[in-house]
Amino acid sequence: MGVADLFHPSHRKPPPPDPQDPSAQAATPVASDERVRRESWFRHLLGRPEFAALAGTVMVFLVFGIAAGNSGMFNLDGIMNWSQVAAYLGLISVGACMLMIAGEFDLSIGSMIGFAGMMVALPSMYFHWPIWLAILFAFVGSMLLGALNGYLVMRTRLPSFIVTLAFLFILRGLTLALSVKFADRTIISGVGDVARQDWFAHTFFQGVAFRGVFVWLGHLGLVKMLDNGTPLVPGIPKVLLWWLALAVVCAFTLAKTRFGNWIFAVGGDANAAKNVGVPVRRVKISLFVLTAFCSCLYAVLQVCDIGSAAADRGLQAEFEAIIAAVIGGTLLTGGYGSVVGACFGALIFGVVQIGITYTNVDSDWFRVFLGVMLLFAVLFNHYVRGRVAASR
């Protein structure tokens, strides 16, 4: 290249952009701002409330994959067993998670399950109501009781722990007293046969879905068939579909709607939220209604599927729902949590409860495992929140 070529226009430096030219301003790269800092993907992942539950789920699957991989736990029928247990807990853990993010607790969840089951069984078996009407009665009654819970908490300003603890005993006592008074026993059977004859109950709450698909898969050799020609796994339990639908709706509400922002604001600082126009009372009462709805849905599915209602149903379910929510990253102090994380917490619960029966480990250790997982989740969430707050 000659000296003359250096002065060719193609080798000349372009003139500096004119600061007054808008197109030049758009083309000029933005200088790095010292107030803006890039966050690594790992730090971003640590800041997610469901991270601990996801890591715990992976760990649990690895442990049982090694300890019970050849036992049939991960066959299709085994998967349906532990996923169904997880789905029942997932229904109430979603509601408990939403309420805990708002800074409140509902300890009447378990008692509401037993009481709602009796609200379905007693009218249909002893007062000859159509079971669809008894189911609607149970939903309306449960949600009104949930609204009463929320109203008393907001009206009296008492801790929700105390108010719902009182309802725990009230509802459990009513369930026991009413079942003995009308049925002269604490278990009412025969509801499953009545539900099977009712289109509404059978279609939405009883049995499994997609039977035809599983029969077709069985004929293709993808699903094991029994000697009578029916598949070993006849379909997907409807509780799984309800869990999926409820989780999707609540996760979307929490992450993408104004009401979801209100929930986080109320749980973070209720007074500040009220001062900026958030309807704190309406938000909290609505979430108490949601937990009651979730408990009733649990009860209706259980009653229609098992075929009976019992006064001791849902015993300690409130604590299991809180454990699942905490394992999923929800803080006990409110203002932080994830529906997806609560679902992972419920999945861990189901895998461990059923998976432990596929191993040689004594099932009495199950509660020990839950306690250890709860302690680990609380410590981990406290550590992560401290790191995130310090980095900001």
For the chain, where are the alpha helices, taking DSSP H only? 3-6, 22-27, 41-46, 51-67, 76-101, 109-126, 131-156, 160-183, 191-196, 199-204, 211-219, 238-256, 258-268, 270-275, 280-306, 317-327, 339-355, 365-391
What average pLDDT score do residues 53-74 get? Answer: 81
Q: What percent of the chain has pLDDT over 90?
A: 53
Residue 149: closest CA among 281, 297, 279, 285:
285
Please, which pLDDT band fits residue 359 given cuts at 50, 70 and 90?
confident
Query: What angle (nearest 5°) sits at the alpha carbon of residue 14, between those of residues 12 and 17?
Result: 165
Q: Minimum mean pLDDT among 53-62, 83-92, 285-294, 320-329: which range?
A: 53-62
pLDDT at 7 over 50: no
Q: Report whether pLDDT(384) > 90.
A: no
pLDDT digits (tens, 9 = 90+) for 124-183: 999 989 999 999 999 999 999 999 999 999 999 999 999 999 999 999 999 999 999 988
- What distance in Å separates the CA atoms of residue 318 and residue 281, rounded to the nearest whole number? 23
Q: What are phi and psi of 334, to 5 degrees?
A: 85, 170
pLDDT at 279: 95
Q: Kindly report the backbone phi and psi dihedral angles of residue 127, in degrees, each rounded to the nearest multiple of 5, phi listed first.
A: -115, 5
Q: Tens digit of pLDDT for each residue in 247-268? A: 999 999 999 999 999 999 999 9
- Separation of alpha carbons 186 and 60, rounded Å: 37
Quickly state the pLDDT bin for 109 (edges 50, 70, 90): very high
Confidence at 372, pLDDT banded by 50, 70, 90: confident
More confident call, 27 vs 212:
212
Give the pLDDT of residue 236: 93
Please give the model's pTM, rounded to 2 decimal places.
Answer: 0.85
Assigned token pair, 365: 């250790």
Residue 21: pLDDT band with limits 50, 70, 90: low
Pick 11 or 275 by higher pLDDT: 275
Q: Do residues 164 and 108 make contact, with C-beta atoms less than 8 angstroms apart?
A: yes
Q: Is the dihedral of CA 309, 310, 316, 318 positive or negative?
A: positive
What is the residue whose two structure tokens read 């938000």? 283
Tokens of 84: 């169904």
* Mean pLDDT of the region 291-311: 95
Which pair of structure tokens corresponds to residue 238?
Answer: 């409807």
Task: Note the pLDDT of residue 389.
Answer: 54
Instruction: Count other C-beta atoms under 10 Å from residue 57's C-beta.
Output: 20
Q: Is the pLDDT of residue 188 over 70?
A: yes
Which range, of 26-35, 252-261, 290-299, averages the lowest pLDDT?
Answer: 26-35
Euclidean distance between CA atoms 362 and 183, whole angstroms? 37
The CATH class that applies to domain 49-199+239-387 reads: mainly alpha
- The pLDDT assigned to 180 comes to 92
Query: Residue 375: is its pLDDT beyond 50?
Result: yes
For the chain, how big is the Rg over CA atoms in Å?
Answer: 27
> What is the reported pLDDT for 301?
96
Q: How much of the chain exceeds pLDDT 70, in percent?
A: 84
Tokens, residue 206: 């009883």
| Torsion of Cα atoms, 29 then 33 then 36 then 37, to 10° | 90
Q: Please check the confidence at residue 310 and state whether its pLDDT lies above 90.
A: yes
User: What is the C-alpha to C-alpha distance for residues 319 and 105, in angstroms, rounded to an integer?
Assistant: 10
Beta bridge partners of 236: 209
| Distance separating alpha carbons of residues 94 and 246, to the nearest angstrom | 8
Average pLDDT, the chain: 85
